[in-house]
Structure 1
Amino acid sequence: MVVSTNVLTMEDDPVVRETIAAYLTDEGYSVTQAESGLQGLALIKEKNIDAILLDWRLPDISGGEVLSRLASVNPAIPVIVVSGTDEVEEVIIALQRGAWDYLRKPLMNMDVLIEAIERNLTRAQLMKEAALEGEHLKELVRSRTEELERANALLRREAKERKEDAVALTESEARFRQLVETVREVFFVRNAETREFVYVSPAATELFGLTPDQFALNSELLVDLLHPEDRPDALSRLPQIYSSSSPVSFEYRFVVGKQQVVKWVGFRIFPVTDAQGEVYRYVGVAEDITERRYAHDALCASLREKDILFKEVHHRVKNNLQLVSSLLSLQAQRISNLEDKERFLDSQRRIQSMTLVHEELYRTDDLSCIDFSYYVEQLARRIEQAFLSLVPVELVVDLEKIHLSVDTAVPCGLILNELISNVYKHAFIGRDRGRLYLFSELREGSIVLKVIDDGVGFPEDFDIAESNSLGMQVVHALVEQLSASLKITSCSGTEFELTFTDSSMCLLPT
């Protein structure tokens, strides 16, 4: 660990921020603190920051927005997301947006934090060195290729006059070999017309287990080494690769040596044109990327396992809630007092509204969001079944396709449960039929839900905040929890209009 390493912590919780800062300082790090995303981005421009500890949920902008902006400021800084959530979707989003690592709060063992910082600082240094080496190699290849083209053109023009052409070409090739044979990656040159290898660097022996002379004698040896599962795709791509006038990159597995070792090899191929603009050679670089691919595959496997685990959790939560709902139903059957019995049934319907959310999450592939339009209709149909013995009600739904996060869908479902149940119980007293209309839409970044009936309506001076009804009190509390607005209009019936936003940024029309 270098004493001058400066770590920036973006954390809105002062206790967590100061705790981490104190620990890192004791370990010899320099620590810069930011309590918001915008403040942290400003500090990155002002100070020399070596690594960043990023809270995923900040008070001004999200951790994802910080990663997106950081990509245009300094993408080479290691960013370790330290979050209180372990939802798979957020882990995936963080890694896709440029996070280098992901740690789960609370950090029970601070040594894990130090290991993550050191590991990613080492990775950043290696990437920096690899980038410099790669850019240097590309420049050398381009520069040397141009030099060779100029030399070859000169030799062709002077071929009739000078017998020393062969000597000059030999010297040129010797200088070329001195350049590329010191590079760890395999460098090769291939004739565009015959597909024969004009040159293969000695590094091919270590990577492919074959000498450059073997490649020169048989240009198809590389195809023979392809993994059987990758060979069909590679062969189908060859015409495209060798007809492209722009650089091409691809990755395939190769079975190498007597031990039949499987290696992932990444290729970058650059076409070289002559004075007439025709491609006559392909210059390429091949490198061993086995460790990087295996790390990627391991991460994907881990994410799939977590996805299965979360589905099982939602399934068990749904089953437990259904059990509670059944117990309430059985208890209600034993109660003779109609008012007390209705209280049990109201509780049962509230639990069923939450059960539906977990049922939807188990059914869908996206564990962070549910199809709210489908959920609302299913909830309304279940409530309709519960009140079949009362006045017949025509249920009409007009719901825009909306996806909501779980944190928003649960309180919304409870609000709709209370409003719809209230319509069935009170709106059509003394009537022989009624009509209930459910509507939803996206409006200027907000979600608008409406519950409209043509029943008796509320009194003109009705105030939901002052209502003695438990259901209306639940609605009022949940509206405040969502930071939503609820507008009640009573004219030829009642219209409830709920307007809110999804703070978890899961508002996605489909």
Structure 2
Amino acid sequence: SEILNSLAAIFTKDSLNLFKGQLIKIANNETYYSGKCKNKTLDGRILDVLVHWAVVPGYEKDYSRILVSLIDITSHEKAQRSLIESEENFRQLAENIDQVFWLTDWKNKKQLYVSPAFEKVFELSTESAYNNRMNWTSVIHSEDKSRVEEIFKMSGLEKCFVQADYRIITKSGKLKWIDDRSYPIFDENGELDRFVSIAEDITIRKDNEEKVKSLLEEKEILLREVHHRIKNNMATIESLLRLHTRNTKNTEVISGLNDAVNRIKSMRILYDKLLGSDNFSDISILGYLSPLIDEVISVFPNKNIIKINKQIEDFEINAKLVFPLGIIINELITNIMKYAFKDTVDNEITIIASKKNDKAWIAIQDNGIGISEEINLKTTNSFGLRLVEMLVRQINGSIELIHENGTKFILEFDLQ
């Protein structure tokens, strides 16, 4: 009682009860004890302590001399508890996720751990995986097997991360898609020590990808059919307008009909390019503008006495911008062909298109008599030039009219 009372200040109640039991054992002729207990410090902290009791040799008869040693093992116990908790957390995670997790001892060529999901995904027992670390390859689809084996062989030789998608055929006859990733772990000497692998059943994802792919293919077919029909309808309208030009001798009517034909032609050429493209959202500016310019000029009787200088870089433009751009180019070139040239020699039109950062820069210039300096694109009575100004605003661009050695239009707009 005196011993216990003297130790009450530094040991917890549970520890005192433990000591009491040990004192009884000592009184019953036991001469040694070793165990763990809780120690309470003077500032109130609780420590984990390893206690050794031993009767000093020579005093076994009256137990008047007992040696007690206390070792602070708080840090060790804390580390042990953290390790146990970490192992428990890992176990709960590995045993309750759908992904297969396995750990391979590369040096000894054996499995150290295989999660229970292995049996669900591969329909093979975890025991078989421990007995033969490559057992999982037995269910790989014959068309994928050599490829997969080569990939994972490379991971060992190259000591690198690898990933592979492959098919398996399970014992129940199911075909599954697997996404398999393997990560190397190196020892303190930099030598390959282990591989951590994670395998996941991605069959549903693959099925969905195939469905999306099929829908996209159907959409592409429908888009091509729509573009084809629109292109044919525009060609029909062009032909009807051309017939009307042959049935009238009114020059103003003929001019108006030809302008309408050219506007429709600029849109028809776009659909022609869309039909020949794998991308319905972007169009090559070179592939679109060059034939458009040729088509617009071809309807004018003075086409043979005018030199066309095209300096067009090849960059892509969003198809939404191409419709208004085509009409703008058509109107400006049509205006030049109608009014710029009075002489029959040295007539030239220069069209330049380039990409500057995220902007398109297009210049159309002639060396003709020049447009009147009184012309203002915002107030002009010309339908064609008013249409140009309106379409420039539609694409959030800007256009500048320069009177210099003829007439020059500079168009800029964002490509985004």
User: TM-score scaled by structure 1?
Assistant: 0.59
Which residue of structure 1 lines up, in the alignment, with residue 167 of structure 2?
A: 253
Match of 2:129 among 170, 193, 215: 215
Match of 2:246 in 1: 333
In 2, the alpha carbon distance for the partners of 1:320 and 1:341 equals 21
Aligned to 1:365: 278
Tell me what 2:234 maps to.
321
**Which shifted more, 328-337 or 211-220?**
211-220
The answer to which of 214-223 and 356-365 deviates more is 214-223
Counterparts of 2:364 and 2:298, CA distance in 1: 18
**Is it true that 1:471 corresponds to 2:378 in the alignment?**
no
Matched to 1:415, the amino acid is I
- Greater C-alpha radius of gyration: 2
Matched, 1:264 2:153: no
After superposition, the Cα gap between the structure-2 partners of 1:341 and 1:244, relative to the gap in structure 1 and judged at 3 Å, is: same
2:285–2:313: 8 Å Cα contact kept in structure 1? no
Quote the offset at 1:442 in angstroms.
2.6
Q: Does the alignment pair 1:302 with 2:212?
A: no
- Verify: 1:407 aligned to 2:320, yes or no: yes
* Alignment of structure 1 residues 9-408 onto 2, 5 Å: 180-181=94-95, 184-193=98-107, 195-243=109-157, 245=159, 247-257=161-171, 259-389=172-302, 392-408=305-321
2-side partners of 1:227 and 1:497: how far apart? Answer: 62
Q: CA 1:480–1:180 in 2, change beyond 3 Å: closer, same or farther?
A: closer
Specify whether residues 176 and 357 from structure 1 end up closer, same or farther in structure 2 by C-alpha distance, changes over 3 A only: closer
Post-superposition offset of 1:183: 5.1
Report percent identity of matched pairs: 29
For 1:367 and 1:183, how far apart are their aligned partners in 2? 42
2:394 pairs with 1:481: yes
Q: CA shift at 1:210, angstroms?
A: 1.7
Q: CA deviation at 1:475?
A: 1.9
Relative distance call for 1:212 and 1:329 in structure 2 (3 A) is same
In 1: Cα distance, 2:196 partner to 2:303 partner: 81
Query: Cα–Cα, structure 1 residues 494 and 254, in superposed 2: closer, same or farther, change >3 Å?
Result: same
- Distance, in Å, in 1 between the alignment partners of 2:92 and 2:391 is 74
Please give the alpha-carbon distance, in whole angstroms, between the structure 2 residues aligned to 1:373 and 1:406: 13
- Alpha-carbon RMSD: 2.9
Aligned residues: 334
Q: 1:397 to 1:196 in 2, by over 3 A?
A: same
Matches of 1:438 and 1:470, distance apart in 2: 22
SS of equivalent residue, structure 1 residue 459: coil
Distance 2:303 2:369 in 1: 15
- The AA in structure 2 aligned to 1:221 is N
| 1:417 equivalent among 309, 330, 334 | 330
Q: Mind listing any 5+ residue stretches in structure 1 that lack a counterpart?
A: 1-141, 148-173, 506-510
Q: Residue 24 of structure 1 aligns with which residue?
A: none
Alignment-derived partner of residue 6 in structure 1: none
The 2-side partners of 1:407 and 1:183 are apart by 47
Larger strand fraction of residues: 2
Whole-angstrom CA distance in 1 between matches of 2:376 and 2:199 = 73
Query: What is the identity, as a one-letter code, of the residue corresponding to 1:228?
Result: S
For the residues of structure 1 that align with 2:92 and 2:297, how far apart are their CA atoms?
82
Secondary structure of 1:280's aligned partner: strand
Contact residue 151 and residue 162 of structure 2 kept, 8 A: no
Partner Cα distance (1:286, 1:390) in 2: 68
